[in-house]
Amino acid sequence: MERYAVFSTAFSSFTRTSLHFQSRPTSFSTTIKPAFFPILHAPPPLISTHHCLSVLTQLTKPCKPFKTRSSSEDNRITEPSKYHLQGAKIVPLVLSISTGLIIHFVIPKPDEVTDQAWQLLSIFVSTISGLVLSPLPVGAWAFLGLTTTILTKTLTFSEAFSAFANEVIWLIVISFFFARGFVKTGLGDRIATYFVKWLGKSTLGLSYGLTLSETLIAPAMPSTTARAGGIFLPIIKSLSLSAGSMPNDPSAKKLGSYLVQSQFQCAGNSSALFLTAAAQNLLCLQLAEELGVVVGDPWVEWFRVASLPAFVSLLVGPYILYILYPPEVKDTPDAPAMAAKKLDLMGPVTSNELVMIGTMLLAVSLWVFGDIIGISSVLTAMIALSILLLTGVLEWEDCLNEKSAWDTLAWFAVLVGMASQLTNLGIVTWMSNYVALFLTSFSLSWPAAFGVLQATYFLIHYMFASQTGHVGALYPAFLAMHLAAGVPGVLSALALAYNTNLFGALTHYSSGQAAVYFGTGYVDLPDIFRIGFIMACINCTIWAIVGGFWWKFLGLY
């Protein structure tokens, strides 16, 4: 009886605990077993008159005097530390600023470099260091770097903000809104569920179904992170839990660990297959164009050059992981039935999904053939977004709430603007010539120099927590080194861009999707590093051998 009183009082309508439960989403009621409801809704127990009198007696007793705390004692407790810095993390802040100061004041300036260029380089390196060490969020730190360029009169206001009008950056931003439409309408979830229904009788088939569905969605959903978190992770978790594979538990190896690793490792190849499958792809071509490397008919050329090595990697990737990192559950006979049930619950294709399909087909068609009729890639994205807004598939509030898009606009524009000015001021040319002379001293042919530079560009990503940050920091310099070493321009530009997608699965921090998949609790940190390195070697080998023959056939070299 006492236990009953405790529970009923705790969940009465006059307690904080009850208010807390009342504020929970309505789905709470569906997660609690019916047997628990009598306790929740039972009336409070009757309290005797004797008990009430005893309580009143206690309340009417005179209060004992209490000792007041001195003002100095209060200040010692309530006042924050005088030396506590709100906002920025002190150690990363000092290290980030120090790198720029060392370049500017300690390292001697080369004679062939102007004072303005050297000063901009120091600010740029300090900005990049902050992107790696994170004293502040990425957008905030980039804004500080932009402010510093104007404050020190390194750049004028118009020069500093010139990249905010860059077409490619706005294409990336609009692509985030387009990806939101896939998630909001449920179209991406529906497509992936169909593949599970068709191929999901075995664990290996399930992996191939998820991989193929991502490849199909990728060209019209230009965010690997959005595809991971908005579509494929919920499906993987649902399938894993149904098979008794729990996160942060030894049972994770039954199914969940393999599916997460497979989807994670194959996502880089699907992102590398299409120009519009990842934001960093568009940024790479923009930076290449600033160095004089122009890829004609970019969407078609990108796909043509990437097609064979990417398809080979997508076909063998899940099987290789099946051998290296085998799941304990080999057959999943219930998965197709679960998928079919989910499709029944989803009902017929909605009008919003039909609009999304039509818009997707229109966008991809214009990305492929738009140059012929004079419609650029960014205009295509604007047309697609306008259709979604006019039809109500997306609301303007959806765009305003897409914080990652606006954050990307801020720091992408800063990095692109600084990199462009460094190119204009001759810093990139100076660095590339210096490295080219160093490579020449070893008597390396351009294929050997190509291999060394590509491997270096790839492995340096262990120091980066963002693919786009890596591109903004190093892509122009490495492309210039390739050109100085005699590597064909289009081959250099595209190979570095493909590389940028492949190293997204190296570590748990190497990309946005890496953080999403690692956060599931299905993969251990040592396995992330071990499998990431092994699959990186396998993917790079496939791209080097298959891609090398394919690119020779296409006449890139």
pLDDT of residue 299: 92
- Mean pLDDT across 543-552: 96
CA 293 → CA 262, 265, 533, distances in Å?
A: 35, 30, 31
- DSSP string for residues in 165-227: G-HHHHHHHHHHHHHHHHHHHTHHHHHHHHHHHHHTTBHHHHHHHHHHHHHHHGGGS--HHHH
Angle, helices 525-554 vs 256-273, to 10°: value is: 30
The answer on pLDDT for 15 being more than 50 is no
Region 99-112 average pLDDT: 93
pLDDT above 90 covers a percentage of the chain that reads 53
Average pLDDT in the 493-520 region? 91
Question: Nearest CA to 196 among 266, 263, 277?
Answer: 263
CB 511 within 8 A of CB 504: yes
Q: Name the more confident of 471 and 390.
A: 390
- In tens, the pLDDT along 428-486 reads 778 777 877 777 788 888 999 999 999 999 998 987 777 877 887 789 889 999 998 89
pLDDT tops 90 at residue 557: yes
pLDDT of residue 315: 97
* pLDDT tens figures, 291-303: 899 998 899 999 9
Task: Please tell me the predicted confidence (pLDDT) of residue 196.
Answer: 92
d(CA 405, CA 118): 32
- pLDDT, tens only, 525-544: 899 999 999 999 999 999 99
**CA pair distance 481, 477, nearest whole angstrom:** 6
For the residues 514-530, what does the mean pLDDT come to?
A: 90
Provide the pLDDT for residue 367: 85
pLDDT at 85: 53
Helix and strand counts by DSSP (H, E) for the chain = 29, 0
In this predicted model, what pLDDT tens digit does every residue of 309-341 receive, in sequence order?
999 999 999 999 999 999 999 999 989 999 999
Backbone φ and ψ of 202, nearest 5°: -125, 165
User: What integer is the mean pLDDT of 206-234?
Assistant: 89
CA distance 183 to 176: 11
pLDDT for position 18: 39
Tabulate helix, strand, coil % of the chain (nearest 5): 75, 0, 25
Considering only residues 84 and 442, tell me which one the structure prediction assigns the higher pLDDT.
Answer: 442
**At what angle are helices 403-424 and 279-290 packed, to 10 degrees?**
20
Mean pLDDT, the chain, integer: 83
Cα angle 40-41-42, degrees, rounded to a multiple of 5: 100
Query: By the 8 A CB rule, do 182 and 357 touch?
Result: no
Give the C-alpha separation, 257 to 425, whole Å. 49
CA distance 551 to 304: 10
Q: Of residues 534 and 416, which shows the higher confidence score?
A: 534
pLDDT at 219 exceeding the cut of 60: yes
Give the range with max mean pLDDT: 42-46, 224-228, 351-355, 469-473.
351-355
| pLDDT tens digits for range 188-201 | 899 999 999 999 99
Per-residue pLDDT, 163: 86
Candidates 280, 256, 269, 172; CA nearest to 215 is 269
DSSP H helices, 485-524, are 489-502, 512-518
Supply 540's token pair. Answer: 């790079």
Q: State pLDDT tens for residues 21-46.
A: 333 343 333 333 333 333 333 344 44
Segment 267-295 mean pLDDT: 92
Percent of the chain whose pLDDT exceeds 70: 85
